[in-house]
Structure 1
Amino acid sequence: MSISAKTFPIWGFFSLVTNGLLMLAIALLIWQQQKLSNTVFPPTAETVSEPQVAQPELGPRHQLNYQQWVDILKSEAKVAALNPPQHLSILAGDSLSLWFPSELLPENKYWLNQAISGETSEGLLKRLDLFDRTQPQVIFVMIGINDLIRGVSDEVILDNHRQIISYLHKMHPRAEIFVQSILPHGGQESTWEGRERLLAIANSRIQQLNQQLQTIATKQGVQYLDLYPLFANQEGNLRPEFTTDGLHLSPEGYMVWRTALQIYSQPELEPHREKVGSVGGVGSVGRQGGQMTNDQ
């Protein structure tokens, strides 16, 4: 028995369209990478040796302790509060968000990066007040992998997400909130210094946790951005071309993430969302390249 178009929800069509666009973007990135890798160069000592994965240089703040990071984020948020920019977007999370290259962030928005390397869901919850006085249009939250690395239970992680969403709803009632899925890790191919701790976390567990996060987001009336399938290979592990060490992201990985942010933050693709005004100036407050060597 065929299903008529009337019984298929309109959001389903838009979901298919956005997911299709994201998959196409990934295919183009992979094709481009393969094309570059197949380019023939004159043999040199460097090209004959084992290929090295390009990693971003550590930023000037990579040696700061947690409180120093908090103080910096507080001061940056204060600037955004005293001089409210148009179309403010906030990144809140751990090092994956922290080291999002500012030049790769979607344009026509002012970005305030409120992420800290090694951050947990509990830590993020306790410092959400840092940007209370800002007026964000959109808030993107990604948190949880460091909880798993440190042995925090799924129940605690999920409860912290509920509290994070509730707090953001209360303090930023006009902002659109996106809960982003936890990304997979690289499995056996991971080279991160905490590799054994990563391997102790099954990617299937991360998938199940993401399903619960999606349920929470739906119940609490916020958007859920499922990045997991965009970054996972057939085995469910983080695709090697999208990571530098099985945990942190490569420039190609950030390009995929950028595409997702661009597509899912476009109001015209989701008619049930309130339309936003015309696009204004461009700006960002963030940190340039690099990654911490301990947790995310």
Structure 2
Amino acid sequence: MSTSAKTFPIWAFFSLLTNGILMLAVILLIWQQQRLSAFFGIVTSSESINLNNSPQIVTPDLGRRHQLTYQEWVDILKQEAKVASDQHPGHLSILAGDSLSLWFPPELLPEGKTWLNQGISGETSNGLLNRLKIFDRTQPEVIFVMIGINDLIRGMSNGVILDNQRQIINYLQKTHPTAQIVVQSILPHAAEEATWKGKDKLLAVANSRIRELNQQLQSISTKKGVKYLDLYPLFTNKQGNLRREFTTDGLHLSPEGYIVWRSALQIYGEIELKSQRQNPSGEKG
């Protein structure tokens, strides 16, 4: 059977994405040698984000959210999503997830988009699934999902986590049929080097298990026809644990860690734009 040209764009996309990640890994090694902290200073002083410059969506006071109950948190996200749905800002991208998404510095999010952060600290896959309806009326171009580490810490089985992930994908595909859905891999933790207050629970989750879960998550994403962004290898050291310079406590990310994530989002965006130009009809192979 001859190879169909229609299948090329998808395979090309994954090939380009892999090459981009490898390229990014090399760049990160160079950054490390030149001190990431110095680079971070340059980035934060020279870049701005549409969210901060736009009256449509107000950047939340993240520090205040430490004192909020879960329901109070949800209520704030509802208000922010309502503003986005009422104003219809251009090039809307949504971050859906837990504290890793929540604490993404607004000034480090890729430019040229309006970002709506729908992260909640301590969130689980079931919690996220139950509150996806909050931003039903928004019209995002892209929805980035990262969820699962808190499920693992709380002792949830891989089967339950993956089933929730399937339901999340199904819901987003049905509710936002024109949006790109990007499932992001679960990040590693720093193992014995972690200083997070829940270290014992964290150590009960082997990074090898996270890798296996990510492989299954990638398979699900492929079957569902959504994008999968593998961030995991960008954050690991030789032992397969979260690199010290990319974390504040072995679980949460440092500014340098968010620079890595930002770079991956930028490369993904560039690859996706090229893919769209090559396949403007949006046909799937």
State the TM-score bracket (shorter-chain normalisation).
Answer: 0.7 to 0.9
User: Cα offset for 1:17?
Assistant: 2.8
**TM alignment of 1:100-119, pairs within 5 A:** 100-119=104-123
Q: 2:5 maps to which residue?
A: none
Larger-gyration structure (1/2): 1
3-state SS, counterpart of residue 233 of structure 1: coil
Note if contact 2:36-2:256 (Cα within 8 Å) is conserved in structure 1. Answer: no
Q: Which moved more, 1:266-275 or 1:223-232?
A: 266-275
Which structure carries more helix by proportion?
A: 2
**TM alignment of 1:1-296, pairs within 5 A:** 10-11=12-13, 13-33=15-35, 59-266=63-270, 267-270=272-275
Q: TM-score, normalized by length of structure 1?
A: 0.80
CA 1:17/1:270 → structure 2, altered by over 3 Å: closer, same or farther?
farther
Note if contact 1:183-1:227 (Cα within 8 Å) is conserved in structure 2. Answer: yes
Q: Which moved more, 1:233-242 or 1:11-20?
A: 11-20
CA 1:35/1:65 → structure 2, altered by over 3 Å: closer, same or farther?
closer
CA 1:254/1:158 → structure 2, altered by over 3 Å: closer, same or farther?
same
Measure the CA separation in 2 of the matches of 1:137 and 1:15.
Answer: 19
Note if contact 1:233-1:239 (Cα within 8 Å) is conserved in structure 2. Answer: yes
User: Cα offset for 1:83?
Assistant: 0.5
Q: Which amino acid aligns with 1:196?
A: D
Measure the CA separation in 2 of the matches of 1:242 and 1:231.
Answer: 7
User: Cα offset for 1:234?
Assistant: 1.1
3-state SS, counterpart of residue 62 of structure 1: helix
3-state SS, counterpart of residue 61 of structure 1: helix
User: Cα offset for 1:131?
Assistant: 0.0
Aligned residues: 249
1:190-237 CA-to-partner distances (Å, cap 9, x unmatched) read 000000111110000000000000000000000000000000111110
Measure the CA separation in 1 of the matches of 2:248 and 2:187.
Answer: 14
Structure 2: give runs of 5+ residues left out of the alignment.
1-7, 39-60
Q: 1:47 maps to which residue?
A: none
* Higher-RCO chain (CA-CA 8 Å, sequence separation at least 6): 1
1:27-85 CA-to-partner distances (Å, cap 9, x unmatched) read 2331222796xxxxxxxxxxxxxxxxxxxx97122110100000000000000000000
3-state SS, counterpart of residue 265 of structure 1: helix
CA 1:35/1:163 → structure 2, altered by over 3 Å: closer, same or farther?
closer
Q: TM-score, normalized by length of structure 2?
A: 0.83
CA 1:271/1:78 → structure 2, altered by over 3 Å: closer, same or farther?
closer
Measure the CA separation in 1 of the matches of 2:189 and 2:230.
Answer: 15
Q: Which moved more, 1:25-34 or 1:250-259?
A: 25-34
Flag as ranges the 4+ runs of structure 1 deviating above 6 A.
none
CA 1:12/1:78 → structure 2, altered by over 3 Å: closer, same or farther?
closer
Note if contact 2:17-2:268 (Cα within 8 Å) is conserved in structure 1. Answer: no
1:91-148 CA-to-partner distances (Å, cap 9, x unmatched) read 0000000000000000010000001000000000000000000000000000000000
3-state SS, counterpart of residue 124 of structure 1: helix
Structure 1: give runs of 5+ residues left out of the alignment.
1-7, 37-56, 277-296
Measure the CA separation in 1 of the matches of 2:166 and 2:278.
Answer: 22
Measure the CA separation in 2 of the matches of 1:274 and 1:190.
Answer: 45
- The RMSD of aligned alpha carbons is 2.0
Q: Which amino acid aligns with 1:64?
A: L
Note if contact 2:91-2:113 (Cα within 8 Å) is conserved in structure 1. Answer: yes
3-state SS, counterpart of residue 139 of structure 1: strand
Measure the CA separation in 2 of the matches of 1:16 and 1:153.
Answer: 29
